[in-house]
Structure formats: structure tokens, C-alpha cells
């Protein structure tokens, strides 16, 4: 079931709660303040809210400068523009300089919908993942987002947050405890493990239910933090089930699937099926169309799980 509140509304409310207690928190925008639901923040904290206009590179480095003085700036744009548009600025002025900047990349993958291929970030995790010191977090729903934000603010170093803006499918219940760097085990099962992130977690759970009806017991793990990744949980899942499926709203090159493949190859080689976008750009479409076009629906996950089971033998 869809959550009642949009992710961006919960994001802004959580930011305001944090900012009330912590005057280091600053919002820096690049002409998408409204799009990120951050106007209430700007109204409440006008002196801690900046809008640099359509200038993402400038935004990234202004945030770096703010961070040198102890501020905790959050920068915002669509995931395409807050990562690849200012990649060198993030690499040098933020990561290499070891500065605490929180980077919000919104509308990842299919979330870009009618903005289409130019706005559809399918490589943002890949390029952020290669930067030393970068933490990468992608919430599944607003409960997890709200629980994670204060923890991410408190930890050292830059963070990339892949933020779906609209109402997400509800996965976590009130009272959910966010454990940094630790996968959420959403379902136990010994036949196959499905490791998913972001909005694909809900699809993974639906696929697992379907498989269960046929007597196949799939475990479902949510990797909310693809870097640093929970190596122990992945290897444990591989040992317990002997075969893995990854699911992501991102290219299978460089994202969750790659990270899990790297982990398995070094720690516990087992058959692996990667469900994700297969080396192509995005296109215009509503979310359900795009998920089918990219092959990241529950049905695709189910098929991959059956294949993974066959590969195990």
C-alpha cells in the first residue's frame, strides 16, 4: 500500500526537526527547492537556506566551503544533475577534501518518469560508489528515510542520498530501527536470497510471496546503504541459500548488483542473477511502464529467482 505522505514532505519535515536542534544544518538548492518540498524549510530558516539557481557545480563547491566552517550542508537536484553534472566538484572539493556534505539526488531511475532519458539517473550510484569515503543511502520508504537521516547527519564524511520524491509503497512500520551499514532482513527463506534496494524492495517482497505459493522460500534483504555495503549479511545469505538475485532501479553496471557481485566473488562465490537496467539509457514513461520496459517488476524478479534456483543445482 502506498504511504500517505510523499517522501519529499517527510524529508522536509525531518530536515526541519533536525535543523531546530542543530544550527549547523543548511539547505543549498539549485532551482529545485519547491520540487524537493523544501519551501517550508526556507520559510522557517531563511538564513540557512540558499538557492544558487541553475548551477550545480557552484552549489557543490559552495557546500564544500560551508562545510569547512562546520556547517552541514544538504545540496539538492535531480539525481542526474546532483551527481554527474558536478562529479568533479564532488570528487575534489567534497570527497578528496573529506568534507561533510549531504547530496540529495532525487527522482532516481524510473522516478524521473516523464522527464525521460536526460533526467533518468541510472548511473548515479555507480559514479558515487567509486569515490573514496562516500556513503550511499537509498531509502525504501519514508519511515526508513526519517529514521536514517539523523544517523547519516551524525556520521563523518559525505553522503549521497538517492531520494524518491513521491509517495512510496509502505515497507517499514513505525518503530523501525535504522542500523547504519546493516541490511534489513525483511523475510527469511533458505532457497534463494533476493537483495534489493529502493523502490525495488516492494517488488522483491511481492515476488517472494508469489514464489512462496509455489513452495519456494526466498529471503528478502534490503541493502539501504550500498556503500559501505553489509558484506556479512550478503555472505551469510549466500551461505544459507546458495544463490542470489539482486534488484535495483539502476544500471546493473556499477550499482547494487555489481557491489553484491564483487562481495560474493571475493567472499562466497554462488550463482547470481542481477535484475536491473541493462546497459541502456532511460526513456519517457510512467513508472509502471518504465519498470516493465527495464525488466524490474515483481514478475521479472520472480523469473530471475527461478533461474537462480536452477543455476544452483
Partner 1 sequence: MKDSYEELTDLALEARREVVRMIGGLGVGHVGGCLSIVEAMIYLYYREMNIKPEQPDWPDRDRFIMSKGHAGPILYTMLGLRGYFSKDLFATLNRPGTHLPSHCDMRLTIGVDMTAGSLGQGLSCAIGMALAARMDKKDYRVFCVVGDGEQQEGQVWEAAMYAASQKLDNLVLLIDDNGMQIDGVTDDINSVRPLEKRWGAFGWATIAINGHNFREIERAFDFAGKTTGKPTAIVMNTIKGKGISIAENKCSSHNMPLTAEQTAEALRELQ
Residues that bind partner 1 (CB under 8 A): 26, 47-48, 50, 52-53, 55, 57-58, 60-71, 73, 88-89, 91-93, 96-98
The distance of closest approach from Cβ of residue 119 to partner 1 in the complex, given in angstroms and rounded to an integer, is 20
Count Cα atoms within 13 angstroms, Cβ side, for 255: 30
Whichever of 77 and 197 has its CB closer to partner 1, that residue is 77
User: For strand 218-222 and strand 49-51, is the pairing parallel, antiparallel, or unpaired?
Assistant: unpaired
Whichever of 70 and 175 has its CB closer to partner 1, that residue is 70
Whichever of 55 and 268 has its CB closer to partner 1, that residue is 55
Strand segments (E) across the chain? 25-29, 49-51, 72-78, 102-106, 135-137, 159-163, 184-187, 192-196, 218-222, 225-227, 244-251, 272-277
Q: What is the rounded radius of gyration, in angstroms, for the C-alpha atoms of the chain?
A: 19
The distance of closest approach from Cβ of residue 107 to partner 1 in the complex, given in angstroms and rounded to an integer, is 23
Partner residues linked to 196 by β-bridges: 222, 247
The distance of closest approach from Cβ of residue 112 to partner 1 in the complex, given in angstroms and rounded to an integer, is 24
**Of 165, 140, 133, 134, which is closest to residue 248 (Cα–Cα)?**
140
**Of 127, 168, 143, 139, which is closest to residue 287 (Cα–Cα)?**
168
Whichever of 87 and 164 has its CB closer to partner 1, that residue is 87
The distance of closest approach from Cβ of residue 132 to partner 1 in the complex, given in angstroms and rounded to an integer, is 12
Whichever of 58 and 115 has its CB closer to partner 1, that residue is 58
The distance of closest approach from Cβ of residue 48 to partner 1 in the complex, given in angstroms and rounded to an integer, is 7
Amino acid at each position: 500500500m502506498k504511504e500517505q505522505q510523499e517522501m519529499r514532505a517527510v524529508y522536509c519535515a525531518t530536515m526541519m526537526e533536525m535543523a531546530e536542534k542543530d544550527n549547523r544544518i543548511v539547505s543549498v538548492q539549485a532551482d529545485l527547492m519547491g520540487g524537493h518540498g523544501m519551501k517550508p524549510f526556507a520559510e522557517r530558516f531563511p538564513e540557512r537556506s540558499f538557492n544558487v539557481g541553475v548551477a550545480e557545480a557552484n552549489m557543490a563547491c559552495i557546500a564544500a566551503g560551508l562545510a569547512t566552517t562546520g556547517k552541514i550542508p544538504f545540496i539538492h537536484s535531480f539525481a542526474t544533475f546532483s551527481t554527474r553534472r558536478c562529479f568533479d566538484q564532488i570528487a575534489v572539493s567534497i570527497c578528496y577534501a573529506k568534507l561533510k556534505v549531504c547530496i540529495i539526488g532525487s527522482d532516481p531511475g524510473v522516478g524521473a518518469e516523464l522527464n525521460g532519458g536526460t533526467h533518468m539517473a541510472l548511473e548515479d550510484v555507480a559514479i558515487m560508489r567509486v569515490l573514496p569515503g562516500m556513503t550511499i543511502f537509498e531509502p525504501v520508504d519514508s519511515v526508513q528515510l526519517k529514521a536514517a537521516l539523523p544517523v547519516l547527519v551524525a556520521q563523518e564524511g559525505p553522503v549521497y542520498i538517492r531520494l524518491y520524491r513521491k509517495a512510496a509503497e509502505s515497507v517499514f512500520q513505525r518503530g523501525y530501527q535504522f542500523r547504519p551499514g546493516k541490511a534489513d532482513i525483511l523475510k527469511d527463506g533458505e532457497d534463494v536470497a533476493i537483495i534489493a534496494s529502493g523502490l525495488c524492495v516492494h517488488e522483491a517482497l511481492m515476488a517472494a510471496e508469489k514464489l512462496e505459493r509455489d513452495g519456494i522460500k526466498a529471503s528478502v534483504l534490503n541493502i539501504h546503504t550500498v556503500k559501505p555495503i553489509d558484506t556479512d549479511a550478503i555472505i551469510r545469505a549466500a551461505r544459507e541459500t546458495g544463490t542470489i538475485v539482486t534488484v535495483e532501479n539502476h544500471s546493473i553496471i556499477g550499482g547494487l548488483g555489481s557491489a553484491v557481485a564483487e562481495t560474493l566473488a571475493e567472499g562466497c562465490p554462488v550463482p547470481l542473477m542481477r535484475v536491473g537496467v541493462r546497459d541502456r539509457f532511460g526513456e519517457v514513461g510512467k513508472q509502471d511502464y518504465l519498470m516493465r520496459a527495464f525488466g524490474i517488476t515483481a514478475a521479472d524478479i520472480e523469473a530471475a529467482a527461478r533461474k537462480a534456483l536452477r543455476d544452483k543445482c
